[in-house]
A and B are shown apart, each in its own frame.
Chain A
Amino acid sequence: MPSLEIDNVKKSYDNFQALKGVSFRAEPGEFVVMVGPSGCGKSTLLRSIAGLETISSGAIRIDGRDIAHDDPSQRGVAMVFQNYALYPHMTVAQNMGFALKMAGRPKAEIDAAVQRAAQILRITEHLEKKPKALSGGQKQRVAIGRAITRSPDVFLFDEPLSNLDAALRSQMRIELGRLHAELKATMVYVTHDQTEAMTMASRIVVLNAGQIEQTGSPLELYNRPTNRFVAGFLGTPRMNFFAGRVVRQTGHSVSVQLPGVDINLELTLEGEGPGVGGEIVLGARPEALGGETGIEIAGTTAVVENLGREALVYVDAGALRTFDSESQEGYVAVHRSFQVESRFGAPTSIRLDASRLYAFGPDGRTIAFPHSL
């Protein structure tokens, strides 16, 4: 299995820099998921790897060979498109065998490759149908099958599941995982859905505004995000952010005052703090606010999302409001591992435990992690 190396790739259109020097390396057989908000450059990067875009500078290497200026069909990559991109005038078998046909391979070889791919994807009985006669999930399988037939060095997926409904999507996630295990191929997968990233990736690349924010395994990124962007991007619901001010600093230890509520929290910084009087952002994942320890802050229930066994409660914590969060009003999201009777205005509380908080400096870098991590 070959490796894929992206080396300082830049791409600009007229006045807009879509990729500002991106580098990462996918080891052989790795399943790399690129995530980021829309417009972050993840699709541009994927399309550049495929050869559908020409990069302005940098190198794209497969097994050490720079393919950045090769013809798309010569790069040894196959791509699965968001809208399947099946040729409507060809049968499933023709769709899957088209690339080999264009490459001038003998018919027997094409048939064998198509058969093998169809078996892997369990679409053998659909081979003679036109794409129009297939369901969304079947179409997606054919699109994947078309990629498999080519036995490429690298598989590229461009948000392949976004057109499927929720149930089908989770099923396909599992199938793709199985496929990856079976083919042991190097795969690059683009999505804006962080659940897909978390569940499928062996490594996640978080892109933002044309730059890589962080790469690492899903748990690495979830537990130790290097900056506020990554911390906020991964995890549902998102991390709660509170804006605070440093009131005291001794060595790596600071006291932070949060607005409205008169509490001081002692944090242990990993690097330099912002200094006394400096702004600091505290981050708390919803599950970190529902514990038994820490400072209790009273509030009222605003919204309850009951998930059955557990619940997500949005708490109106008075003056302690989150910013940059999913709920506009600044309610604090708290995860409770038990059922909650939903009642608007019912009194409740959250607990801020300094050992379970993240802290971010004014430049967004993470300066403190929860103690357990």
Chain B
Amino acid sequence: MNGRTRLVAIGMHLILTVWTIFVVAPIGLMLISAFKSQAEIFTKPLSLPGSLNLSAFQRAWNIGIGSFMLNSLLVTVLSVAVIITTSGLAAYVLARSEAKVMKWLYILIIASFAIPVQSVLVPLYQMVSGGHMLNSQLGIVLPYAAFGIPFTTVLFYAFFLEFPRELEEAARLDGCSRLQIFFRIVVPLSGPVVASAAIFQAVFNWNEFLLALMMLTEKSVRTLPVGIYGLTTQYSSDWPAIMAALTIATLPLLILFILAQRHFVRSLAGLGK
């Protein structure tokens, strides 16, 4: 290796290292602040905690981080399951049918992909409220699903278009019904796209704030983002507890991610195709 290429290599590492530090620093700050007292956070912003104080974690836990996480988990799993199933079935029919009406339905779905949640917040709230589903998991799972379906359908649609049709024809000859073709042939071979879509929607719904803020006002059903936001009450904020809550909420995901990052990244890569 000559001097110039070594210099280039060092430069490349430098760029990556700087960004890595930039990425890690706030997470480190969150972690450290969780061990500090409120006064320490504000008066000694750059120092390490004076003592390893776990009381903020206890306060955060007492506020109900555990149940927020469970709620988030429930809402995320349910909504992603609904999204994957319904989008998969719909995208399959759309990609396979030659009827004209299907083309219009597909355009309709693409159009609804572009509709931002805020645009329909008020009527949506009225509907969920009118359906007596405020503060219920279903009340948030259904809107999450509805807003996740267009993107996922488009994703699946592209995948199904490229799916070898001969396989399905072979299955037809082998005696499969349309539904059987879907579940016995197409689904088992859709692993990567299903994983990509599921991860994308899971990350999105796990972190969703606006709808959850509006629909899940009751403490017992709040998801993590709203729960954490609720830690800043009308007149006071317990910053160490907020940071502890963020740490509790983030750490499991981070560890899970670091352990499974190879698969995670690979299946997410399916989005680019």
Contacts and interface: CB of A to CB of B under 8 A. Distances in A.
Q: Do chains A and B touch in the complex (CB under 8 A)?
A: yes
Interface of A: 47, 50-52, 72-73, 77-79, 81-89, 98-99, 102-103, 146, 150
Interface stretch (B2-10, B171-179, B227-235): B171-179
Q: For the complex, would chain B's binding face be called helix, strand, loop or mixed by DSSP majority? A: helix
Contacts of B176: 73, 102
Given A87-B185, A88-B189, A89-B188, A77 B166 contact: no
A50 B173 contact: yes
A62 B125 CA distance: 62
Given A50-B169, A98-B171, A150-B174, 11 more contacts: A51-B173, A52-B173, A73-B176, A78-B173, A79-B173, A81-B169, A83-B164, A87-B171, A87-B189, A102-B176, A146-B170
Contacts of B167: 85-87
Nearest to B98: A13
A302 B166 CA distance: 45
Given A52-B172, A73-B174, A82 B185 contact: no
B47 interface: no
A4 to B, nearest CB: 16
Given A88-B189, A89-B189, A99 B174 contact: yes
A102 B188 CA distance: 16
A85 B169 contact: yes
Nearest to A13: B98
Contacts of A72: 172-173
Q: For the complex, would chain A's binding face be called helix, strand, loop or mixed by DSSP majority? A: loop
A103 B172 CA distance: 12
A51 B172 contact: yes
A102 B166 contact: no
Contacts, number: 53
A83 B174 contact: no
Interface of B: 164, 166-167, 169-176, 180, 185, 188-189
5 contacts: A52-B173, A73-B173, A85-B170, A99-B173, A102-B174
Which residue among B164, B166, B173 has the maximum number of chain A CB atoms within 10 Å of its CB? B173
Contact of B164 (A51, A85, A146): A85
Given A83-B164, A89-B188, A52 B169 contact: yes
A102 B180 contact: yes
Contacts of A77: 173
A82 B166 contact: yes
Nearest to B166: A85
Which residue among B166, B171, B174, B175 has the maximum number of chain A CB atoms within 10 Å of its CB? B174
Contacts of A79: 169-170, 173
A85 B169 CA distance: 8
Contacts of A89: 188-189
A98 B166 CA distance: 15
B195 to A, nearest CB: 15
A102 B175 CA distance: 6
Contacts of A86: 167
A83 B166 contact: yes
Contact of A81 (B170, B175, B188): B170
Contacts of B173: 50-52, 72-73, 77-79, 99
A51 B172 CA distance: 9
A68 to B, nearest CB: 15
A72 B174 CA distance: 8
